[in-house]
A and B are shown apart, each in its own frame.
Chain A
Amino acid sequence: MKPSNNAITKQSNNTIMKKAFLLLVLFAVGISAFAQTNDQYEAAMKKNVPIFDTSENLFVLETLSNNFDRIASVTKDQWLPYYYASLARVRTAFMQQDKSKIDPIVDQAEALEKKAAALNPDQAEILCLKSLIASARIAVDPQTRGMQYGPEAGQLLQQAQSIAPNNPRVTLLLGQNAFYTPAQWGGGKDKAKPLLEKAIQQFSTFKSATDISPNWGKGLAEYLLAQCNK
């Protein structure tokens, strides 16, 4: 046993230098690739996130969800690409005319939301997303589904409000829910208006954590408030 062990040690001695060198090279390449990806990630996100808040076009939103999917497929450890990919899909779901297409899209959005939620998430933003996902499902069959998903969407927002009462998106979505709920059912413009006003005020003071963190919704709040004042 011993001789053969020695033989291996000798052989190894010869290769240690080579191996160390190789490791060093790999490490360097790794750093370079990492730096490159990280830069690319920031750049790609910065390119896509602003469009997200301004576009109302179905194709643009589809493109955005694909873009965020691609970013997520490379940087698997970031929650934001999953978050935006999910959110973009929910928005396309709201625009679908063909009701049979809604559920498959929302299923995708929900799977992405779960991935985002698992990665150290901003609880309030995830709850807002979940609430939107529940609302999107109602359109498939409002009479039957309204009873299940309507209250669910509302509860998620209440939960978000208790965590982050100053988050403008939570207030906006509460206002949006009130706006689209008929007055007879406990909603209406009168209920929505103070919430939307509060949301706009919160938007003016809200500082997002980074350039690419959730910061959307001000335009929507202003649009809905204008509708309330009509």
Chain B
Amino acid sequence: MKYLFIILLFVTSVSVFAQTKISGTVTDTHHKPLTGANIYLKGAFDGATSGQDGSFSFTTDERGKQTLLISQLGYQSDSIQILVENKPVHLQIILQESVNKLNAVTISAGSFSISDQSKNTVLSPLDIVTTAGAGADPMAALRTLPGAQQVPNQTGLFIQGGTGEETKAFIDGMEVLHPFYSATPAIGARGRFNPFLFSGTLFSSGGYSAQYGGAMSAAVILTSDDLPQRSSATLGISSVGLSGGIDQLSKNKKASYGGDISYGNLWPYFKMVSQQQDYSLSPFDWNGDANFRIKTSPTGILKFYGYADYNKLQFSYPGVDHPNSNDMFSDKNANGYTNMAYQESLGKNKDWRLYLGTAYNTNTDWIKTGYQPKGEPPVLDTIKAFTQLNEGKFMLTHPIGLLSDIRFGLSYQYETNNTLYTPADTIASAGYQFKENLYDNYTAVFAETDLYFTSRFVARIGARGEYSSLLNKYNLAPRLSLAYQLGEATQLSAAWGDFYEKPATDQYMFSHPDVGFMNARHYILTFQHIKSDYTWHVELYYKQYHNLLKTIPDTMPNGSGYARGIELFWRDRKTIKNGDYWISYTFLDTKRNYLNYPFEVQPPFASKNTLNVVYKQLIPSITTNISATYTFASGKPYFNPNLPENEFMSQKTPVTHTLSLSAAYLINGKKTFTVPVFSVSNVLGSKQVYGYNFSPDGSMQQTVTAPASRFYFIGAFFSFGINRSQDVINNNL
């Protein structure tokens, strides 16, 4: 007991010793003082917080060998062994910035990220919906970004000197064969996607991942939402139709399902606002989509997205080559798309990420096109075009260390193209039909690594190999991207790579054994500065085209071309209170020799200069959001058959100016959210000349312009928490 007493005395006497002062400074590796760091002894209350100058000081009763811990948000925590005796301790502590996915440099050459999360985000999904002139079409909103051409009379996204076919869209990793509605003469078609279904969009105008192929110019990579936050329902009524949708989250929040249905008909609108075309059948459209998402485990998710659409239209317009007759066009279109993707982490350490995906596309167009002499029955060719694409994709991703990773996989597509062309029943055609059925087995393998040399410097090295049974050709596309972080928000990136694409099927129906993959080689340099309130994006690129398809004098894969340009993007969300604007400028120098071109010329979808100014202003006192978009595009070349061949495409259309406005009034009830919207595109009614059509002998000329000088839209959207929506639905049905 004597020992015990002595020991107890010793224990209690520890606290009787004089206190020791521990002080010092905390800085980062650049000797910048760090404020707010926590410096303390392990297992004790004793510690301090560093001040403005990084200094700290505290006293302790502890003795002997102690562990001093230092922690600061955004920096790697550190620990130091110190010996606490009677003399004061002074320390100079240097903290390393913590390295994580959030502050490390990311691959960004040639791409714009649109999402709520990603730190390199340029636009948010909501920005897309509120951009004037885009009509809630994500594809149209992308046209306000640099790199995109304004080609309102054609369908598709024309990026950096590429045609609309050179841009492909992907949903959750898999290709969408028909991201746009079917093309009609002189009227560009809308994109098919509902902007609210996607949480993220990566718009890549080149240099994109080896995961994706089949696009020489650009990829629009859409990521569908994960589980919704809560159940909800929406209703929409507008000058073009009706829509409704639900999103239901399960009680355990591990699964959800949802769907939308809409019916659109432009008949009432065309009655009120006259169009250039004379519609004998106003466009109508039935559209539905459905989705489900199941969290199969803490790390696994299964997603399904299905889409079906049926639409029809018929119109006539003054013909250029048949005087005293009208040209006629009608299309009945049925389109379906399903996409199922499964992701799960595998392996003992759950560090293998598995991706499995399957997608199905089907599209049928029944087109009638021809002319109708006055007072006589129409002379119409009919085309039935059926395409189908089945796709499966497998990918594995594995991290290497903290930041780097490697991924590889396989993608397989089976494509069917059936075309049945029946010329108008005249004496000359006499029951002739042209029929072609094309099938393609397309296989791609890819491997890619994001290799971080430091947290500021990353290289993405990858390659993609493709084989097409229809072309009976292979290709191997190497790709390389580099990104270097210059400062906290500033980075410089470069990309180089080969991108291959099959020629569009309607062009090589008349197959030639040499016809193969077309190729574009990209060289891209991007400077990017992204802060939460300001974004700067400057891009320089050069693109070389090889093996483009030529149809004259013969079907040969010997076309060529180039595109080069400078692109600027500036966004500012701070300077104007409650205001937000972005300016994008595109300079494009491109020439190509393809199809029937006699030599390399600037193609008719390319403007040298394009400018977009998008401005949004929230007026809180009346909870109204006003948005304006101004677009300028310099003249585009057009084909004039009256000119000699050496002046092919040498004339240009006048410049176009477009100003579009929209206003949305937000009414927030207890559980409802109502948004009446009004918008006008081309408010000033400026003349939009997209090109000229000539009769084959060149004697007749016609201006290709917008179907109407302005487009008006008025509508209201309601969204409800599910509890109230049940009432609304019950009361309304």
A residues whose Cβ falls under 8 Å from a Cβ of B: 21, 24-25, 28-29, 32-33, 36, 40-41, 44, 59, 62-63, 66-67, 69-71, 73-74, 98-100, 104-105, 108, 140-141, 143-145, 147-148, 151-152, 182, 184-186
Contact = CB atoms under 8 A, between A and B. Distances in A.
B125 A144 contact: yes
Contacts of B668: 184-186
A198 to B, nearest CB: 20
A59 B36 contact: yes
Nearest to B74: A104
Contacts of B52: 59
SS class, residues of chain A in contact with chain B: helix
A40 B41 CA distance: 15
B684 interface: no
Contacts of A69: 38, 71
Given A59-B51, A100-B532, A152-B229, A108 B73 contact: yes
Interface string B116-145: 100100001110000000000000000000
22 contacts: A24-B4, A28-B4, A28-B7, A29-B7, A36-B15, A40-B45, A59-B51, A66-B48, A70-B40, A70-B46, A70-B47, A71-B45, A74-B43, A98-B532, A99-B533, A100-B119, A141-B116, A141-B532, A182-B623, A184-B622, A185-B623, A186-B670
A105 B73 contact: yes
Nearest to A41: B45
A80 B541 CA distance: 57
A32 B12 contact: yes
A34 to B, nearest CB: 12
A62 B36 contact: yes
B266 interface: no
B486 to A, nearest CB: 17
Contacts of B618: 143
A66 B48 CA distance: 8
B384 to A, nearest CB: 44
Contacts of B15: 36
Nearest to B719: A147
Contacts of A73: 40, 42-43
B45 A99 contact: no
A21 B3 contact: yes
Given A59-B52, A63-B36, A184-B667, 16 more contacts: A25-B4, A28-B4, A28-B7, A32-B12, A59-B49, A62-B49, A63-B49, A66-B40, A67-B47, A69-B71, A104-B73, A144-B125, A147-B673, A182-B623, A184-B623, A186-B670
Contact of B229 (A66, A143, A148, A182): A148
Contacts of B8: 25, 28-29, 32
B35 interface: yes
6 cross-chain pairs, A with B, having the tightest CB-CB distances, nearest first: A66-B38, A99-B532, A63-B49, A62-B36, A185-B668, A184-B623
Interface in B413-453: none
Q: Choose among A40, A100, A108, A152 the residue with the greatest number of B CB atoms under 10 Å from its CB.
A: A100
Q: Choose among B38, B52, B533, B618 the residue with the greatest number of A CB atoms under 10 Å from its CB.
A: B38
B11 interface: yes
B375 interface: no
A24 B48 CA distance: 36
Contacts of A100: 119, 531-532
Contacts of A67: 47, 49
A40 B43 CA distance: 12
A10 B204 CA distance: 81
Given A143-B124, A144-B126, A182-B623, A25 B7 contact: yes
Nearest to B667: A184
Contacts of B45: 40-41, 44, 70-71, 74
B126 A143 contact: yes
Contacts of B3: 21, 25
B644 interface: no
Interface string B225-242: 000011000000000000
Contacts of B487: none
A55 B398 CA distance: 48
Contacts of A184: 621-623, 667-668
B73 A182 contact: no
A226 to B, nearest CB: 23
A140 B126 contact: no
Contacts of A32: 8, 11-12
Contacts of B40: 66, 70, 73
A162 B260 CA distance: 35
Interface string B15-57: 1000000000000000000011010101111111101100000
A24 B4 CA distance: 8
Q: Choose among B126, B667, B673 the residue with the greatest number of A CB atoms under 10 Å from its CB.
A: B126
Nearest to B130: A143
A178 B229 CA distance: 22
A179 B40 CA distance: 40
A148 B229 CA distance: 7
Nearest to B15: A36
Interface string B651-686: 000000000000000111110010000000000000
Contacts of A66: 36, 38, 40, 47-49
Contacts of A28: 4, 7-8, 11
B513 interface: no
Contacts of B35: 59, 62
